[in-house]
């Protein structure tokens, strides 16, 4: 499930070439997840690293993560 979430999020990424010649990428559904690097491939790697850290921290702190294409990583407590 986690791998599918990461893959789905990365497919939603947008990239742009900045004036300084570096690449910038972000996943708008995942607020605060962005990457920047000299090449597009390095930007993708930086963006995925950022996404993975964002997911881990969000889950650890109990934040509600966005549901992407039906993939829900949020922990729900069942009420007895």
The 10 Å Cβ neighbour count of residue 70 is 7
Query: What are the extents of the domains in the chain?
Result: 2-61
Residue 80 has what pLDDT?
64
Please give the model's pTM, rounded to 2 decimal places.
0.90
Retrieve residue 38's tokens.
């000299």
* Strand, helix or coil for residue 13: coil
CATH class of the 2-61 domain in this structure: alpha beta
| pLDDT tier at 76, thresholds 50, 70, 90 | confident
Mean pLDDT of 6-13: 98
Alpha-carbon gap, residue 62 to 75, rounded angstroms: 8
**Tens digit of each residue's pLDDT (9 = 90 or more) over 26-62:** 999 999 999 999 999 999 999 999 999 999 999 999 9
Retrieve residue 35's tokens.
């990457």
- Which has the higher per-residue pLDDT, 36 or 80? 36
Residue 62 has what pLDDT?
93
Sequence-separated (6 or more) residues with CB below 8 Å from residue 2: 55, 73
* Contact call for residues 59 and 75 (beta carbons, < 8 A): yes
């Amino acid at each position: 499930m986690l791998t599918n979430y990461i893959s789905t999020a990365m497919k939603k990424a947008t990239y742009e070439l900045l004036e300084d010649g570096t690449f910038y990428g972000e996943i708008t559904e995942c607020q605060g997840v962005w990457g920047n690097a000299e090449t597009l491939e390095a930007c993708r790697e930086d963006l995925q690293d950022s996404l993975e850290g964002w997911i881990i921290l969000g889950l650890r702190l109990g934040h509600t993560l966005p549901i992407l294409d039906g993939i829900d990583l949020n922990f729900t407590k069942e009420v007895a």
